[in-house]
Chains A and B, each alone.
Chain A
Amino acid sequence: MKGLLFGGCSFTWGQGLYFYSDLPNLFYPKPYEYHADKLTDAQLRFKDTLRFPRLVANHFNTFESFKISNGGSEDETFDFFHTIFNFKDKLDTNKHLSTERYDYKDFDYIIIQLSQLFRNRFYFEIDGHECFTNVSPNANYGDYKLLLKWMEINNKTYDDWQRELSQAQYLRLVKELRFYEEKGIKIKLLSWENDLIPYIKNDEFLNERFIPLVYKDVTYDTIQEMQNNNKELYIEHDYEFFGENTPKDHHPSKLCHRVIADNIIKSIEKDIK
């Protein structure tokens, strides 16, 4: 098999997996905090060995590629893809995403893990000016007040905002995935949260590429649903490994990465057969 290209957020990046190492200087942040500057190169390399991209690549005896920076959204996922395929002579471009460069033919599969919908840019107009936000109107950080203002002016509800954002993201997803499939790369899709699930299920193209997650004989549409029903799949609830004093981290546990990897492997193997 050729390479495997992964897109996703901190769930794919492997946030928190360094807590499973024997390495020194592990920093334990408060819940929902992340301090990139507290991570050592050794910790970063260690977490790469446990995250699902490496597990899947190891299974197929090939290599994986994923962006350098933690977190992100589909906006960043597609920026990352665009960067590695299009800036061969500009290695400084989007260095935070990747310094690797590829041809489409270097990969057999793209596996995209969808992140939280609201992290993607939502474009709107206020007083003739184009604006965007990448927060929820329920947030109390970032440009959420701008979004609330747009909603007030245009008499939009939270549901209206979510529907418009979902529709835009769904259309973009289809467009991008079709583009890469036309380049000869097969696509797989999995999701952290459920916002786009109805769109995926109603679209034959997306649904065929969607990977529901099976764990203990139960099938889940999202990583979130699987984690909520099986708390050991959160790092902060992995008492078996950490004992009572777990790191306060809601990211997928080592076992969760294994479960996700196994589901991706199964889906790809189905294609091969």
Chain B
Amino acid sequence: MKGIIFAGCSFTWGQGLYFYSDLYDVPKMGDSDFHQHLLKDSHVKFKDTLRFPRLVANHFNTFEVVKKRNGGNDNDSIQFVNILFDNSHSLFDKFTYDDFDYLIFQTSQIVRNKFDFEYKGKMYSVNASEKNLNLYKDNDDIFFKWLTDNNFTYDEWYESFKITIITKIKNFLLSIENRGIKTKILLWQDDLIKLVESDSFLSERFVILYHEDKTYKCIDYLIKFNKGMTIGTDYENLVDPVHDTHPSKLCHKIISNSIIKNIENK
């Protein structure tokens, strides 16, 4: 098999997996106080060995490509993949479409994607996930005024925004498939399940998660219905774990096995 691209957020990046190492100086950073610059090369390289991209690549005796920077949203993931094939970015490794057999796209939280809107002749951008943290407060006020002016409730807007994002992802995956790379879609949260299942292109590429004879349609469900699926709750393998809601070592293993199964069955 040729290479495999993995696009996603901190779940694909492997945040927190360094806690499973024997390294002496892993900073005790949880969800709320993560700083990538505090991680050493040893921490980063160790967590790479446990994340599902490496596990899948190892299974197929090939290499994986994952973005170096942690976190991000679906738009960032699309941009990351596009940059891989853009020779004008001299700082990054360069690839051709022929270098890869698969792209595995892990969706992030929908609301992390920026929403651009025009209000009274001026363009604004809002990140609705951060709305709850009271960041960008000024823009949020304007966003809610925009919703009112356009006769949208927040929920109505959210439903339409989901369709916008999944359509963008689908079109992106189609463009990648047209270049000869097969694609898979893996969901973190449940809000896109119906949209993915109701679309023949996406549903054929949908990675269902398998664990102990049960199936799960998103990583969130796998985490919710099983013990020890996050780093912060993996008491079996970690002593006094920090508050970290990212997938545990076992969770990464389950995700990788499910991707492998999906690829091998198709």
A-side residues, CB < 8 A to B, are 1-3, 21-25, 40-42, 45-46, 48-50, 57-58, 61-63, 65, 100-103, 105-106, 108
Q: Are B42 and A106 in contact (CB under 8 A)?
A: yes
A45 to B24, CA, bound (A): 29
Given A46-B63, A105-B24, do A23 and B93 touch, yes or no (CB 8 Å)?
Answer: no
Given A3-B45, A63-B48, do A23 and B2 touch, yes or no (CB 8 Å)?
Answer: yes
A21 to B22, CA, bound (A): 33
Interface centre among A40, A50, A105, A106 (most CB of B within 10 A): A106
How would residues 94 to 105 of chain B score, 1 for a CB under 8 Å from any chain A CB and 0 otherwise?
A: 111011110000
Q: Are B63 and A3 in contact (CB under 8 A)?
A: no
Given A2-B21, A49-B61, do A41 and B95 touch, yes or no (CB 8 Å)?
Answer: yes
A42 to B46, CA, bound (A): 21
Q: Tally A-B pairs: CB < 8 A.
A: 85
Q: Are B45 and A45 in contact (CB under 8 A)?
A: no
Contacting residue for B95 out of A42, A102, A106, CB 8 A? A42
Contacting residue for A102 out of B42, B57, B99, CB 8 A? B42
Chain A nearest CB: distance from B179 CB in Å?
Answer: 13
B163 touches A (CB below 8 Å): no
A57 to B54, CA, bound (A): 12
In the complex, which residues of chain B have a beta carbon less than 8 angstroms from the beta carbon of A42? 2-3, 63, 95-96, 99-100
B49 touches A (CB below 8 Å): yes
Interface centre among B46, B48, B57 (most CB of A within 10 A): B46
Contacting residue for B40 out of A40, A58, A106, CB 8 A? A106
B147 touches A (CB below 8 Å): no
In the complex, which residues of chain A have a beta carbon less than 8 angstroms from the beta carbon of B21? 2, 62
Q: List, sorted by A's number, 14 A–B pairs whose CB atoms are closer than 8 Å.
A: A2-B23, A2-B42, A3-B23, A21-B62, A23-B98, A40-B99, A42-B99, A45-B65, A48-B63, A49-B61, A62-B49, A63-B48, A102-B41, A103-B25
In the complex, which residues of chain B have a beta carbon less than 8 angstroms from the beta carbon of A24? 96, 98-99
B195 touches A (CB below 8 Å): no
In the complex, which residues of chain A have a beta carbon less than 8 angstroms from the beta carbon of B101? 22
In the complex, which residues of chain A have a beta carbon less than 8 angstroms from the beta carbon of B65? 45
B58 touches A (CB below 8 Å): yes
Chain B nearest CB: distance from A56 CB in Å?
Answer: 12
B1 touches A (CB below 8 Å): yes
Q: Are A23 and B99 in contact (CB under 8 A)?
A: yes
